Amino acid sequence: MAGDKAEEDLPDFDEDAAVGNGSGSAAGGRPEAHGGAGAISASGFRDFLLAPNLMQGIIDCGFEHPSEVQHACIPQAVLGTDVLCQAKSGMGKTAVFVLSCIQIIDLSLKEVRVLVLCHTRELAYQIEHEFLRLGKHVKELKVAAVYGGGTIEKDKEMLKSNCPHVLVGTPGRVLQLMKSGDLKLDHLTQFVVDECDRCLDELGLRKDIQGIFVKTPKKKQVMMFSATIQPDTRITAKKFMQNPHEITVESEAKLTLHGLQQYYIQLEEREKSKRLIDLLDQLEFNQVIIFVKSVKRALALDGLLQECKFPSMTLHPLPKAFAHKAAKGESTLGPEHDRIERLRQFKDFRKRILVTTDLFGRGMDVERVNIVISYDMPEDSDAYLHRVGRAGRFGTKGLAIAFCAGEKETEVLNKVQARFEVSIPQMPAQIDTSSYLNA
Ligand code: ADP
């Protein structure tokens, strides 16, 4: 049952996007989500003087109080100031740009006014839905997302016949649509980059973003967000901005999450799968994300968990050549739809366990996830922080467990502890359920 064995059983293939993304039971929901650690109770959203139809969307979403980052950024953002914002995962950075963009957008033109760039199609899809959710009562508002993998013809048609005011997209696809002349950004007023360090640190993505940026009007508001922004990236980001309002809600050393219990387990590589299964039997969870280092391992481990009757899934579709191995009822749509469809399944609580690479490591928000397991440690400490941020969102409780087999994985764990000033103890034999599960 060891991971190695499971991997051996898997057909040999490569997946382009190895970008790095049960049993148990518990009641759903996040009771603390409306007033958890991230909320500032003294000051309500009303103080931001947002439009009544936008306020209605906020109320419908159940947001009662702005979080610290929302408090620190929204008043500046609605004035049109450039914003460079670093704040912990799960503290509501998305709503900062969603609310401020909807508040100031001019809907009179049928043109793209707001462009939001991010690094994966899953995140683009999620951000699009956050605009639709919070902007639900802003009747004229049109929002769309474009990303690689899907047919570009559909995107072209959508831009021609039903041009959105807000376009969310991955840089490659956006640039492609601009080059073909189908996407025009002459009236753009807001340029937003989410997970900006990920987008700017990778040369290919940065080039695409620059290519898009130079084709947009000079006078526009630029906003960039992430939980982690290294000093060099901060310098790069500021080259896109003019006198930005720089917000660092917590210094980098304090980026770990208060509601989150973190442990490590020292073991041998071959013990990982057995230990994982024991944990899944033993722990109580709403939803769990298990991170592995490659698509191949994600598929193998997911297969193994399914064999053991766990309600497991992965975001990664089987390659076409192995479609005959797909489970009954699995989508036969193209891979891009498949990944979004799978994401939807997990978000809708149709599956409780997601096995993934770091594709799911950043930005993704699934409210019922209360446990994150690093079956394989990530390559670096930033990736670890983003992963564990998938649990304990908006100040709720959560549990993060890291498997450490061998020197390299232990080294990453030590780096995490040093960099974020956090002590991650060895997992005890028993842990109190109430320490990681919201009442
Ligand atoms: P971040 O981008 O900082 O990682 P998100 O924007 O994904 O965090 O927000 C995390 C979760 O918290 C989302 O489910 C979001 O809907 C919710 N949320 C955001 N702001 C508030 C608020 N003021 N009150 C309650 N929940 C909120």
Tell me, yes or no, whether 241 and 265 share the same domain.
no
Which amino acid residue places its CA nearest to atom 24 of ligand 1? Answer: 63
Look at residues 228, 248, 268 and tell me which one is the last residue of a structural domain. 248
pTM score:
0.74
Tell me, yes or no, whether 217 and 276 share the same domain.
no
Q: Does residue 58's CB lie within 6 angstroms of at least one atom of ligand 1? A: no
Q: Give yes or no for residue 334 having a pLDDT over 60.
A: no
pLDDT, one tens digit per residue, over 7-25 is: 434 333 333 333 332 333 3
In a domain, 189, yes or no: yes
Tell me, yes or no, whether 187 and 330 share the same domain.
no
In a domain, 337, yes or no: yes
| Rounded distance from Cα 168 to ligand 1 centre (Å) | 18
The arithmetic mean of pLDDT across residues 46-66, rounded, is 89
Beta-bridge mates of residue 263: 401
Pocket residue to mutate for ligand 1, from 41, 68, 94, most atoms within 8 A of Cβ: 94
Q: Give yes or no for residue 33 having a pLDDT over 50.
A: no
Tell me, yes or no, whether 357 and 411 share the same domain.
yes
In a domain, 272, yes or no: yes
**Structure confidence at residue 30 as a pLDDT band (50, 70, 90):** very low
In a domain, 82, yes or no: yes
Q: Between these two residues, 97 and 254, which has the higher pLDDT value?
A: 97
Tell me, yes or no, whether 40 and 142 share the same domain.
yes
**Beta-carbon neighbour count of residue 108 at 10 Å?**
9
In a domain, 254, yes or no: no
The arithmetic mean of pLDDT across residues 52-72, rounded, is 90
Look at residues 227, 248, 269 and tell me which one is the last residue of a structural domain. 248
Tell me, yes or no, whether 421 and 344 share the same domain.
yes
Tell me, yes or no, whether 269 and 412 share the same domain.
yes
* DSSP string over 254-293: G-S-TTEEEEEEE--GGGHHHHHHHHHHHS--SEEEEE-S
Token pair of 268 as six digits: 């041998």
Q: For the chain, how long is the longest CA-to-CA vector?
A: 61
Q: Does residue 91's CB lie within 6 angstroms of at least one atom of ligand 1? A: yes
Look at residues 214, 248, 282 and tell me which one is the last residue of a structural domain. 248
Beta-bridge mates of residue 247: 85
The arithmetic mean of pLDDT across residues 291-297, rounded, is 92
| Rounded distance from Cα 192 to ligand 1 centre (Å) | 17
Q: Give yes or no for residue 256 having a pLDDT over 70.
A: no
| Rounded distance from Cα 393 to ligand 1 centre (Å) | 7
| Rounded distance from Cα 8 to ligand 1 centre (Å) | 40
Q: Does residue 394's CB lie within 6 angstroms of at least one atom of ligand 1? A: yes
Q: Give yes or no for residue 292 having a pLDDT over 50.
A: yes
Write the CATH number for 415.
3.40.50.300
In a domain, 255, yes or no: no
Tell me, yes or no, whether 129 and 166 share the same domain.
yes
Q: Does residue 94's CB lie within 6 angstroms of at least one atom of ligand 1? A: yes
In a domain, 218, yes or no: yes
Q: Which residues of 198-218 are buried (b: 16+ CB within 10 A; e: fewer)?
A: bbbbeeebeebbbebbeebee
In a domain, 58, yes or no: yes
Tell me, yes or no, whether 18 and 167 share the same domain.
yes
CA distance 264 to 275: 12
Provide the residue range defining the domain that includes 340: 260-435
Q: Does residue 33's CB lie within 6 angstroms of at least one atom of ligand 1? A: yes
Instruction: Look at residue 386 in the predicted model and tell me its pLDDT.
Output: 87
Tell me, yes or no, whether 203 and 264 share the same domain.
no
What's the total number of domains in the chain?
2
Tell me, yes or no, whether 241 and 275 share the same domain.
no
Tell me, yes or no, whether 220 and 291 share the same domain.
no
**Structure confidence at residue 184 as a pLDDT band (50, 70, 90):** very high
Q: Give yes or no for residue 111 having a pLDDT over 60.
A: yes
